Chains A and B, each alone.
Chain A
Amino acid sequence: MDETCTETPKVWGLTYWGWAAVFIVAMIGASFASRSGLVPAGAAIWVQLAPLVLVAPMAHAQLGLFRKHGVSSPALTRHNRAMLLTLGAFVVCMCLAVYLSRAYRPTGLAAFALALLAIAPVGGIVWSAARYLREETDEFLRHRAVNALLVSLAFVLIVGSLWGSLQMFGLAAPSLNLWVLPAWGFGFGLGNLWWWTRDR
């Protein structure tokens, strides 16, 4: 492992840990703000989506951290680039779809086409992950990615189970299922870090 550079890589003055903390605070803050009545009902989805912008600098800082410790491969570099692009595309497509749905109130097939526009980049994320698992020749990195994905799935299912049970008994507010993707991203980062700290 390359330990020659001692300074932790930063993006705009913050390390990965700093960005992760900002992302978590922003996610929790957005959830509370969108349900508090402070923002108009129509703007709640914008508030919920806004923290996704923070995924880009957070992911960039995490890549710098992994690169510093020699955890990289050509397939991983390709995958990370594709992930950043698809996440950016997701934010743009989702915002565009929400704006169009607010402006034109589509129904039927038009609304369904708009929904497909909104989720197309999610298909890109899935495709990129599947391609990475196929192309990765480094067994250790592949094993780590698979485990991080499994951790992220467990995280989403546990959060969903607990939150859903609280909703069922009127103890938590109803929610749009749009929380799943950011929660998955967070769980994936958590899984990656867990394996990384375990292997060190």
Chain B
Amino acid sequence: MPVTGASPPFRAPRSWLWTIAFVAAMAAMVLDARLGLLASPWHSLLKVLVLVLGIPLMVSVHRQSEEEGPVSPALTAYNLRMGAAFAACIMILSIAPGVAQRLPPGSAALWLLALAAAAPLCWGIWVTVRYLAQESDEYLRHLTVMSTLAGLAVVLVATTLWGFLDDLGMVPEAWAWWPLPVFAVGMTVARAWLKARSR
């Protein structure tokens, strides 16, 4: 790209603001679940807020990628499928604890519920595998592969560090699905960095 003068002033993309709002609502939901801060209607409303905030977040991310260049059909399908998997994941995780309380411990129904809770997460992984197989745009594929591998690096370092600190009793115990959100954050940051670098 020819350099014609001073670069335009930096403007934070709108998707960043929605991401911050969404992450804040998610963090509040996790804190509330752990500490039981909110009473009955507000507790459920917070879960609905997370779901609702997910919609403008996905729309703004899609618009931003359209502004940055042509979006491949595979990427559009990926965004839609991932959005659906994400919504299913939040819905099941919001409902499942309430259902689990009514089921006898260790029962077959509880096992089915646990598998149902894991299903959207596994579906999200499958959606990414399909995207990588279908993406014909070399740049977009390279961007996804590299940011995914960067996410893997973050997972390996962060989980080993957390596991050791957990053994020392310095940090709270983490669920075994913890690598998934760590990966998502690592991949998103790496993708933004790689995009900024290629400009």
Contacts and interface: CB of A to CB of B under 8 A. Distances in A.
B179 interface: yes
A47 interface: no
A157 to B, nearest CB: 5
Interface in A112-146: 112, 114-116, 118-119, 122-123, 125-126, 129-130, 133, 146
Determine which residue in A98, A163, A171 has the highest number of CB atoms from chain B within 10 A of its CB, and name it.
A171
Nearest to A159: B176
Contacts of B160: 118-119, 122, 177-178, 180-181
B152 A152 contact: yes
A106 to B, nearest CB: 8
B155 interface: yes
B148 A150 contact: yes
Interface string B93-105: 0001100100001
B86 interface: no
A157 B121 contact: yes
Given A111-B165, A149-B149, A160-B178, A122 B121 contact: no
A146 B175 contact: no
B153 A171 contact: no
Main secondary structure of the interface of A (DSSP, over half): helix
Interface of B: 96-97, 100, 105-106, 110-111, 113-115, 117-118, 121-122, 125, 129, 132, 145, 148-149, 151-153, 155-157, 159-168, 170, 173-180, 183
Q: Which 5 A-B pairs have the closest CB atoms?
A: A164-B177, A178-B163, A177-B163, A161-B121, A163-B176
B125 A157 contact: yes
A180 B179 contact: yes
Kindly name the residue among A94, A161, A166 whose own CB sees the greatest number of chain B CB atoms within 10 A: A161
Nearest to A161: B121
Contacts of B115: 162, 165
Nearest to B128: A154
B105 A170 contact: yes
Contact of A171 (B111, B121, B132, B168): B111
A199 B63 CA distance: 40
Contacts of B145: 146, 150
A97 B170 CA distance: 15
Contacts of A146: 145, 149
A106 B174 CA distance: 21
Contacts of B155: 153, 156, 180, 184
Interface string A83-99: 00000000000100110
Contact of B117 (A157, A168, A172, A174): A168
B100 A169 contact: yes
22 contacts: A107-B170, A112-B170, A115-B161, A115-B164, A118-B164, A119-B164, A129-B153, A156-B179, A157-B125, A157-B180, A157-B183, A161-B177, A162-B118, A165-B114, A176-B166, A177-B163, A177-B166, A177-B176, A177-B178, A178-B167, A181-B156, A181-B159
